Chain A
Amino acid sequence: MTTRNPQLNRNGELTHLLTLEGLPAEVITHILDTAEPFVSIAEREVKKVPLLRGKAVFNLFFENSTRTRTTFEIAAKRLSADVINLNIGASSTAKGETLLDTVDNLCAMNADMFVVRHAQSGAPHLIAAHLDAMSRTHVHVVNAGDGRHAHPTQGLLDLYTIRHYKRDFRALTVAIVGDVLHSRVARSLIHGLTTMQTPRVRVIAPRTLIPTRVEALGVEVHTDMREGLRDCDVVVMLRLQSERMRGALLPSAGEYFKQYGLTLDKLALARRDAIVMHPGPMNRGVEIDSPVADGERSVILPQVTFGIAVRMAVLSIVASS
Chain B
Amino acid sequence: MKIEISRGRVIDPALELDRVTSVYIAEGAIAGVGEPPREWRADRVIDAGGCIVCPGFVDLAARLREPGLEHKATLESELAAAAAGGVTGLACPPDTDPPLDEPGLVEMLKHRARVINLAHVYPVGALTLGLKGETLAEMSELAEAGCIAFSNADAAMPDTQMLYRATQYAATFGHRVWLRPQEPYLAHGGVAHDGEVATRLGLPGIPVFAETIALSTIFALVRETGVQMHLCRLSSAPGVAMVRAAKTDGLPITCDVDVHHLHLSDVDIGWFNPHANLMPPLRSTRDRDALRAGVADGTIDAICSDHSPVDDDGKQVPFGEAEPGATALELLLPLTLKWAREDEVPLIRALGALTSAPASIIGITTATLRKGNAADVCVFDPAHSWTIRPDALRSQGKNTPYLGLELQGRVRCTLLAGHVVHEM
**A residues with CB within 8 A of B:** 1-3, 6, 21, 98-100, 118, 120-123, 125-126, 129-130, 146-150, 184, 187, 211-214, 216-217
Stretch at the interface among B265-273, B290-298, B372-380: B265-273
Q: Please indicate the chain A residues that have their CB under 8 angstroms from the CB of B200 in the complex.
A: 21, 187, 216-217
Identify the interface centre among A121, A123, A187: most chain B CB within 10 Å of its CB. A121
Closest to A211 in B: B199
Closest to A150 in B: B202
* Contact call A214/B199, Cβ cutoff below 8 A: yes
The complex places the Cα of A121 from the Cα of B198 at a distance, in Å, of 10
Q: A1-B268, A212-B207 are in contact. Are A126 and B202 (CB under 8 A)?
A: no
* Contact call B319/A121, Cβ cutoff below 8 A: yes
The complex places the Cα of A214 from the Cα of B205 at a distance, in Å, of 13
* Contact call A1/B270, Cβ cutoff below 8 A: yes
Identify the interface centre among B199, B207, B270, B319: most chain A CB within 10 Å of its CB. B199
B194 on interface, CB distance cutoff 8 Å:
yes
For residue B229, give the distance in angstroms from its CB to the closest CB of chain A: 30
B195 on interface, CB distance cutoff 8 Å:
yes
For residue B405, give the distance in angstroms from its CB to the closest CB of chain A: 8
Identify the interface centre among B276, B317, B318: most chain A CB within 10 Å of its CB. B318
For residue B278, give the distance in angstroms from its CB to the closest CB of chain A: 13
* Contact call A122/B201, Cβ cutoff below 8 A: yes
Q: A148-B202, A212-B205 are in contact. Are A123 and B271 (CB under 8 A)?
A: no
* Contact call B317/A126, Cβ cutoff below 8 A: yes
Closest to A122 in B: B272
For residue A259, give the distance in angstroms from its CB to the closest CB of chain B: 23
Q: Please indicate the chain A residues that have their CB under 8 angstroms from the CB of B224 in the complex.
A: none
B196 on interface, CB distance cutoff 8 Å:
yes
8 A Cβ contacts from B193-230 to A? 194-196, 198-205, 207
Q: A99-B318, A120-B319 are in contact. Are A212 and B272 (CB under 8 A)?
A: no
Q: A98-B316, A99-B318, A118-B318 are in contact. Are A184 and B202 (CB under 8 A)?
A: yes
Q: Please indicate the chain B residues that have their CB under 8 angstroms from the CB of A150 in the complex.
A: 202
* Contact call A120/B318, Cβ cutoff below 8 A: yes
The complex places the Cα of A120 from the Cα of B321 at a distance, in Å, of 8
Closest to B404 in A: A1
* Contact call B199/A212, Cβ cutoff below 8 A: yes
The complex places the Cα of A130 from the Cα of B317 at a distance, in Å, of 10
Closest to A21 in B: B200
Contact of B202 among A1, A98, A187 (CB under 8 A): A187
Can you list 9 contacts pairing A with B, beta carbon distance less than 8 Å? A2-B271, A99-B318, A122-B271, A126-B316, A146-B318, A149-B203, A187-B200, A211-B198, A212-B207
Closest to B273 in A: A1
* Contact call B271/A147, Cβ cutoff below 8 A: no
The complex places the Cα of A123 from the Cα of B201 at a distance, in Å, of 11
B43 on interface, CB distance cutoff 8 Å:
no
Q: A150-B202, A213-B195, A214-B199 are in contact. Are A121 and B271 (CB under 8 A)?
A: no
Q: Please indicate the chain B residues that have their CB under 8 angstroms from the CB of A100 in the complex.
A: 316-317
Return the CB mask of B56-93 against A: 1 if under 8 Å, else 0.
00000000000000000000000000000000000000
The complex places the Cα of A187 from the Cα of B203 at a distance, in Å, of 12
Q: Please indicate the chain A residues that have their CB under 8 angstroms from the CB of B201 in the complex.
A: 121-122, 149
Return the CB mask of B301-326 against A: 1 if under 8 Å, else 0.
00000000000010011111100000
Q: A121-B319, A150-B202 are in contact. Are A126 and B272 (CB under 8 A)?
A: yes
Q: A122-B271, A122-B272 are in contact. Are A99 and B317 (CB under 8 A)?
A: yes
Closest to A2 in B: B270
B358 on interface, CB distance cutoff 8 Å:
no
Contact of B318 among A122, A148, A184 (CB under 8 A): A122
For residue A186, give the distance in angstroms from its CB to the closest CB of chain B: 10
Sample of 15 more A-B contacts, CB < 8 Å, known A121-B201, A129-B271:
A1-B273, A98-B316, A99-B317, A118-B318, A121-B272, A121-B319, A122-B271, A126-B319, A130-B316, A146-B318, A147-B318, A149-B202, A212-B194, A212-B196, A213-B199
Contact of A6 among B194, B203, B271, B317 (CB under 8 A): B271
Q: Please indicate the chain B residues that have their CB under 8 angstroms from the CB of A98 in the complex.
A: 313, 316-317
Closest to A5 in B: B271
Q: Please indicate the chain A residues that have their CB under 8 angstroms from the CB of B198 in the complex.
A: 211-212
The complex places the Cα of A217 from the Cα of B200 at a distance, in Å, of 7
Identify the interface centre among A1, A148, A217: most chain B CB within 10 Å of its CB. A1
* Contact call A123/B273, Cβ cutoff below 8 A: no
Would you list the 6 A-B pairs with minimal beta carbon distance, nearest first? A122-B272, A148-B202, A149-B202, A120-B318, A211-B199, A121-B202
